[in-house]
Amino acid sequence: MTDHSAFTVTPEWLSENLTRSDISIVDASWYLPAAGRNGYQEYQKAHIPGAVFFDQDVIADKSSDLPHTIPSVEFFAEQVGAMGIRSDDMIIVYDGPGLFSSARVWWMFRVMGAKRVFILDGGIDGWQKLGLPVTSEPTVKTSVKFVPSYQENAVVSFEEMRSIVDQRSAQIADARGAGRFTGSDAEPRAGMRSGHMPGARNVPATVLSQDGKLKKLSELRAIFDDAGVDLSQPVVTSCGSGVTAAVISLALASLGHEKNRLYDGSWSEWGGRTDTPVATGEAE
């Protein structure tokens, strides 16, 4: 039995399959301001041949005051169809360092009904370290029809999240760093409270990967066990704004955990309100 995720591909595999007609490559690079990197600018300078750029701040619900909220099914299908991506394609998603923002787009494609969605080990940083080809030439794709099949139950709303917290009806796995989780570090968004949802467990997204690659399944199991997450029970994933929560979602799916959902508003919504309970310190 393999000890690696079924949802990742190696740079070597992708380099050997770049010309396959059923493969769509997606650059999903997105960064927090503190990273000092711009995903789209880097894409313009160097991307994997044939890759299209997925802007998570554009392909979003613009009616929401929360950052990069999941868009309507119709808007998502329109946007990715214009990129030349079909729902039955083998979709390979990557970002810069390997496992930061790519998981969010991997998750979105799956929520919208795509079945064959994978993440590139090591991202484009790892790809370039191996000396594999990149280009600055624009990727030109013919518009196609993306046929969505929305998995509504994969997304948790604020109202449902409030009920989950109040009733402790599901485990909550928070992907933010320990300082933000305990409340000892300030949130990067001004005026937002620090801390976590009562009952949540801290599973920092950064501990789930090494060198831009998702850790082995045996290591992932140990991480969840140490965090007090019971893999036999439902889990809701959360983070700062719904991006790195998907790294936990990826890790759970890789372990065969099917009863996991993502709270899209995450801490940007919960911590930005004044009527939500907030706990500080270590997990209960």
Residue extents of the structural domains in the chain: 8-150, 153-270
Average pLDDT value for residue range 141-160: 97
Q: What band does 2 get if pLDDT is binned at 50, 70 and 90?
A: confident
Phi then psi dihedrals of residue 93, to 5 deg: -105, 140
Give the model's pLDDT for residue 254. Answer: 98
The side-by-side arrangement of strands in the sheet containing 52-53 is 8-9, 117-120, 90-94, 23-27, 52-53
Task: Confirm whether 83 is a catalytic residue.
Answer: no
Q: How far apart are CA 223 and CA 204, in angstroms?
A: 10
Q: Among residues 26, 239, 247, 250, which one is catalytic?
A: 239
> Taking 70 as the threshold, does the pLDDT of residue 140 lie above it?
yes
Q: What is the pTM of this model?
A: 0.96
The topology (CATH level 3) of 8-150 is: Oxidized Rhodanese; domain 1 (3.40.250)
Strand, helix or coil for residue 233: coil
User: Structurally, what CATH architecture does the domain formed by 153-270 represent?
Assistant: 3-Layer(aba) Sandwich (3.40)
In terms of residues, how long is the chain? 284
What is the maximal distance between C-alpha atoms in the chain? 53
Q: Are 77 and 143 in contact (CB under 8 A)?
A: no
Q: How far apart are CA 202 and CA 274, in angstroms?
A: 22
Average pLDDT value for residue range 233-241: 97
Check for a shared fold between 8-150 and 153-270. yes
Give the model's pLDDT for residue 270. Answer: 97
Q: Are 93 and 26 in contact (CB under 8 A)?
A: yes
Q: How far apart are CA 253 and CA 247, in angstroms?
A: 10
- Tokens 């790519």 label which residue? 102
Give the model's pLDDT for residue 128. Answer: 97
**CB proximity list for 221: less than 8 A, separation 6 or greater:** 231, 255
Where is average pLDDT lowest: 150-164, 178-192, 229-243?
A: 178-192
With residue 155 as reference, give the H or E element that holds it: strand 155-156
Q: What band does 1 get if pLDDT is binned at 50, 70 and 90?
A: low
> Taking 80 as the threshold, does the pLDDT of residue 248 lie above it?
yes
Give the model's pLDDT for residue 49. Answer: 98
Average pLDDT value for residue range 183-211: 94
Q: What is the mean pLDDT of the chain?
A: 96
What letters, b where the CB count within 10 A reaches 16 and e where it falls short, cover 180-194?
bbbbeeebeeeebbb
